[in-house]
Chains A and B, each alone.
Chain A
Amino acid sequence: MNNPYLPYPVRIDSAITETEDRNLKTFKLVFLNAQDEKKFAYTPGQFAILSVAGLGEIPIGIATSPTEQGFIKFTVNKVGKVTSHLHNMKAGEIMGVRGPMGNWYPWDLLEGKNVVIIGGGFAFTTLRSSIVYMIDPKNRSRFGKIDVVYGARSAGLLLYKDELAEWEKRSDINMHITVDSSSDPNWKYNVGFVPAVTKQKAPSAENAYAIICGPPIMIKFTLPVLTELGFPPERIISSLEMRMKCGIGICGRCNIGTEYVCKDGPVFTLEQLAGLPVEY
């Protein structure tokens, strides 16, 4: 019987600091056994459990898209025992990965639709996965317009800065990068909170879905903007953060109402969330 608690052994290929406060690092992981990578076939929106022997496990969104082969990437925020140790680990060291876990963004529903992606801070990881997936030449024609609003407190806190700049230049995706405030005279992009920039850019809700991931306060103020733009609850999609342990819907920790966030989520539409207790 397959043991869903047993991690696949992986090697850290690189560990890159993403943000100026040094709290976020992107780890590029390579499977030790080739067949494990096949077993790990995932869809954008899913997460995995990173395992560090001797320390513990953490649930992190998968930042790569399945169109990127040979490795998987995770952007990890340093908050506690496991993440602090992980941040000190170097290329070549061994750790583990369990997954993929959870459900994914509803790609079947997004076929032929316009997609509006709204992200804030370091909640952008599975959104990166989604963007890379959609603009891949094999997939781009499946989707309509793609609008992205992504903001952080300052320029130094944005993730994947090089890729953001690359995407900004493309014509098949509308990037609206923003920072809360900037004292940099050379700052090329927007200045303003994500909700405000969303309102300003006013992406059309016609034939469109919105995917929103970010800190609770950002979500709280952006939802009314989306509603005003005409997005109904069943076309606003979010991914919940929750304290998790097993990641497979057994240990009970991430239970909200009838759902396990790790197994029945973490992706939920606003309509689904309206039917659940507000315990997230």
Chain B
Amino acid sequence: MSDIYYNAKENFAGVIERLMGRYRVYAPVKQDRCHEFAPLRNAEEADLGFSNTRLSPKGLFHPQAERMFEYSLANDDPQAGIVKEAQKDFSPRVVLGVRPCDAKAFDLDDANFNTETIKDPWWVRRRETTTMIGLACDSPCSTCFCTSMGSGPYDTAGLDVLLVDAGEGYAAEVLSEKGKNTLSVTSGWTPVTSAILPLTHKKKAAEQSVGIAFDPAAIAKKQMLELYNSPTWEEVQFACINCGACTFVCPTCWCFDIQDEVCGDKGERLRLWDSCMFPLFTLHGSGHNPRSQKTQRVRQRFMHKLKYYQDKYNSGPACVGCGRCVQACPVNIDIRQVGRQMAAQTCSQPA
């Protein structure tokens, strides 16, 4: 189903207000010198003229700190020590203005959180109750490489609606039943049948302006252990300071820690963003640490994203080319460069 509608930009504050009447709406909001996704308090806060947010919107589904459970530890409480579900708000939400790269990232994350046998209840419920209204990218950044990773500035993966800036207004491509239902609470949309051609040109122009990084298929074809044992990791790892900034800004990094925190006679079990970059990530209780060396940790991040994920799910890499890690890394370790090295690695055997 691919119906396309048009609405004037001057109507858009009204569109957002209507959405806010029925949903909790999250959109890019200007904060100091950058944008972040935040719950809208009024329609004017939304700034769709942004390029992309500094942190990825993964916090909307997988917050930095999530209260999983709570429990009492009071001596006289018969329920003490019994872990209970914490109240959550799963009322419907709209994420407005998400870029196609980030939307696709959530599809990639689904493979981890939503499997046949095990489902992460909070992730799955949030995904079910959230409508993703994306905004196509007309000015990709120099650090973007979405097209190399199987996404693109006008890609529709993971979206319920795709908005395209059409000058005086927005064209909206409805991609799912959920998207149709959400848009129907707003007004001012007229169906578009012809005059799509200029938009097709814009799409092509945007795609062509995205830099080419490397071919993940070339990495998929290589033998895992040969890539793993490559001597080039020594060189890649030197600059890394294991700061974790890359993993925290990345939309396809999901690793987390589970911690209990207690205050008085009440406590909660939390899930917190963690990073394979941290030395203590794999530390055993016995003191043994399989990734005690920085080289091993640096290698793990790239191998997991660009090789293991491809092998495990028979799909593309766990990277959408948003370029945030390239921008955030304080020592300029560039995943595009590492990917190129991996793709060029000469291997004696095929995968």
A–B contact at 8 Å CB threshold (below): yes
Interfacial residues, chain A to chain B (CB-CB below 8 A): 1-7, 9, 32, 51-58, 77, 79-80, 83, 93-96, 216, 241-243, 245-246, 248-253, 255, 257-258, 263, 275, 277, 279-280
Q: Which of B32-40, B235-243, B255-263 contacts A (4 or more CB under 8 A)?
A: B255-263
The answer to whether A253 touches B281, judged by C-beta atoms less than 8 angstroms apart, is: yes
Interfacial residues, chain B to chain A (CB-CB below 8 A): 68-69, 71, 73, 80-83, 85, 112-113, 115, 118-121, 124-125, 224-225, 228, 254-260, 262, 267, 269, 271, 274, 276, 281-286, 288, 290-291, 296, 300, 303-304, 308, 311-312
Q: Which of these, B118, B300, B311, contacts A263 with CB under 8 Å?
A: B118
Q: Which of these, B69, B259, B262, B296, contacts A6 with CB under 8 Å?
A: B69
From known contacts A279-B296, A280-B290, infer whether A245 and B285 are also in contact, taking CB-CB under 8 Å.
no
The answer to whether B282 touches A243, judged by C-beta atoms less than 8 angstroms apart, is: yes
In the complex, besides A54-B260, A243-B282, A246-B258, 12 extra interface pairs with C-beta distance below 8 angstroms are A3-B85, A3-B121, A4-B119, A4-B121, A5-B121, A216-B288, A242-B290, A250-B120, A251-B257, A251-B274, A257-B228, A277-B224
The answer to whether B120 touches A96, judged by C-beta atoms less than 8 angstroms apart, is: no
- For residue B61, give the distance in angstroms from its CB to the closest CB of chain A: 13
Q: Which of these, B115, B224, B260, contacts A56 with CB under 8 Å?
A: B260
The answer to whether A252 touches B267, judged by C-beta atoms less than 8 angstroms apart, is: no
- For residue B207, give the distance in angstroms from its CB to the closest CB of chain A: 31
A83 to B284: give the CA distance in the assembly, Å.
13
A110 to B260: give the CA distance in the assembly, Å.
41
The answer to whether A250 touches B267, judged by C-beta atoms less than 8 angstroms apart, is: no
The answer to whether B124 touches A56, judged by C-beta atoms less than 8 angstroms apart, is: no
The answer to whether B73 touches A54, judged by C-beta atoms less than 8 angstroms apart, is: yes
Chain B residues positioned under 8 Å from A5 (CB to CB): 68-69, 120-121, 258
Q: What are 16 A-B pairs with beta-carbon distances under 8 A?
A: A5-B120, A9-B82, A32-B82, A52-B81, A56-B258, A79-B285, A80-B285, A242-B282, A242-B290, A245-B258, A248-B118, A249-B112, A250-B118, A251-B257, A252-B112, A279-B300
A51 to B276: give the CA distance in the assembly, Å.
24
Q: Which residue of A lies closest to B124 (CB)?
A: A1
The answer to whether B276 touches A252, judged by C-beta atoms less than 8 angstroms apart, is: yes
The answer to whether A94 touches B82, judged by C-beta atoms less than 8 angstroms apart, is: yes
Chain A residues positioned under 8 Å from B303 (CB to CB): 277
The answer to whether A255 touches B290, judged by C-beta atoms less than 8 angstroms apart, is: no
The answer to whether B258 touches A251, judged by C-beta atoms less than 8 angstroms apart, is: yes
The answer to whether B115 touches A249, judged by C-beta atoms less than 8 angstroms apart, is: yes
The answer to whether B118 touches A255, judged by C-beta atoms less than 8 angstroms apart, is: no
Chain A residues positioned under 8 Å from B276 (CB to CB): 252, 255
A280 to B288: give the CA distance in the assembly, Å.
9
Chain B residues positioned under 8 Å from A263 (CB to CB): 118
Q: Which residue of A lies closest to B228 (CB)?
A: A277
From known contacts A4-B118, A258-B312, A275-B225, infer whether A53 and B281 are also in contact, taking CB-CB under 8 Å.
no
Q: Which of these, A79, A94, A252, A279, contacts B286 with CB under 8 Å?
A: A79
A53 to B81: give the CA distance in the assembly, Å.
5
- For residue B318, give the distance in angstroms from its CB to the closest CB of chain A: 11
The answer to whether A53 touches B286, judged by C-beta atoms less than 8 angstroms apart, is: no
A94 to B80: give the CA distance in the assembly, Å.
8
Chain B residues positioned under 8 Å from A255 (CB to CB): 276, 300, 304, 308
The answer to whether A258 touches B121, judged by C-beta atoms less than 8 angstroms apart, is: no
The answer to whether A53 touches B118, judged by C-beta atoms less than 8 angstroms apart, is: no
A253 to B85: give the CA distance in the assembly, Å.
23
Chain A residues positioned under 8 Å from B71 (CB to CB): 53-54
- For residue B270, give the distance in angstroms from its CB to the closest CB of chain A: 10
A152 to B82: give the CA distance in the assembly, Å.
36
- For residue B177, give the distance in angstroms from its CB to the closest CB of chain A: 21
Q: Which of these, A55, A241, A279, contacts B260 with CB under 8 Å?
A: A55
Q: Which residue of B lies closest to A279 (CB)?
A: B290
A44 to B124: give the CA distance in the assembly, Å.
31
A252 to B252: give the CA distance in the assembly, Å.
12
A157 to B296: give the CA distance in the assembly, Å.
34
A279 to B113: give the CA distance in the assembly, Å.
24
A242 to B282: give the CA distance in the assembly, Å.
8
The answer to whether A252 touches B254, judged by C-beta atoms less than 8 angstroms apart, is: yes
Chain A residues positioned under 8 Å from B308 (CB to CB): 255, 257-258
From known contacts A1-B119, A93-B81, infer whether A253 and B282 are also in contact, taking CB-CB under 8 Å.
yes
A277 to B225: give the CA distance in the assembly, Å.
6
The answer to whether A253 touches B267, judged by C-beta atoms less than 8 angstroms apart, is: no
The answer to whether A53 touches B256, judged by C-beta atoms less than 8 angstroms apart, is: no
Q: Which residue of A lies closest to B262 (CB)?
A: A54
Chain A residues positioned under 8 Å from B115 (CB to CB): 249
The answer to whether A53 touches B113, judged by C-beta atoms less than 8 angstroms apart, is: no
Q: Which residue of B lies closest to A58 (CB)?
A: B285
From known contacts A277-B225, A280-B290, infer whether A252 and B255 are also in contact, taking CB-CB under 8 Å.
yes
The answer to whether A95 touches B119, judged by C-beta atoms less than 8 angstroms apart, is: no
- For residue A189, give the distance in angstroms from its CB to the closest CB of chain B: 27
Chain B residues positioned under 8 Å from A79 (CB to CB): 285-286
Chain B residues positioned under 8 Å from A251 (CB to CB): 254-258, 271, 274
Q: Which of these, B260, B290, B296, contacts A53 with CB under 8 Å?
A: B260
